[in-house]
Structure 1
Amino acid sequence: MRRIFATAFFILSAEGAAFAGSTTDGAGALSLAALVGARSPAVKPAAKAALAKLADGHAKVAFPKGQTIEVAVDSISCRASNVDITQHACELTFGQKKVQLAGRQAHEIFATLLEVGVPPDGAAGTIYAAASALDCAVEPDEVAQKAGGGAQCKYEPPK
Structure 2
Amino acid sequence: MRLGRLTILACSMSLASSAAWAAPATTSGSVALALAGVVAPYLPLPAKEKKAVAAFFNGDSNVSYASKIIVTADKVVCRASNVDITSRSCALTFGGNTHTVKGSEANAIFATEALAGVPPDGAAGTIYETLSKLSCTLDPKVINDKAGGGADCSFEPGN
What one-letter code is carried by the residue in structure 2 that aligns with 1:24? Answer: T
Length-normalised TM-score, structure 1: 0.84
Q: Is 1:57 aligned with 2:54?
A: no
| Count of residue pairs the alignment pairs up | 141
Q: How does 1:108-119 map to 2 (within 5 A)?
A: 108-119=108-119
Q: CA RMSD in A?
A: 1.4
- CA distance in structure 2 between the partners assigned to 1:26 and 1:87 by the alignment: 31
- CA distance in structure 1 between the partners assigned to 2:97 and 2:109 by the alignment: 18
1:30 to partner: Cα distance: 0.4
Q: Is 1:69 aligned with 2:69?
A: yes
- CA distance in structure 2 between the partners assigned to 1:85 and 1:25 by the alignment: 32
Q: How does 1:17-56 map to 2 (within 5 A)?
A: 17-18=17-18, 19=21, 20-41=23-44, 43-56=45-58
The aligned residue for residue 14 of structure 2 is: none
Length-normalised TM-score, structure 2: 0.84
- Give a deviation string over 1:103-154, Cα, whole Å, max 9, x none: 0001100100000001111122211000110000001111111111110110
**Which deviates further from its counterpart, 129-138 or 116-125?**
116-125
- CA distance in structure 2 between the partners assigned to 1:31 and 1:89 by the alignment: 18
What one-letter code is carried by the residue in structure 2 that aligns with 1:70? Answer: I
Bigger radius of gyration, 1 or 2? 2
- CA distance in structure 2 between the partners assigned to 1:48 and 1:75 by the alignment: 19
The 4+ residue runs of structure 1 with deviation greater than 6 A are none
The aligned residue for residue 137 of structure 1 is: 137
What one-letter code is carried by the residue in structure 2 that aligns with 1:154? Answer: S
Preserved CA contact (<8 Å) 2:41 2:50 = yes
Question: % of aligned pairs identical?
Answer: 45
The aligned residue for residue 79 of structure 1 is: 79
For residue 89 of structure 1, give the secondary structure of its aligned residue in structure 2: strand
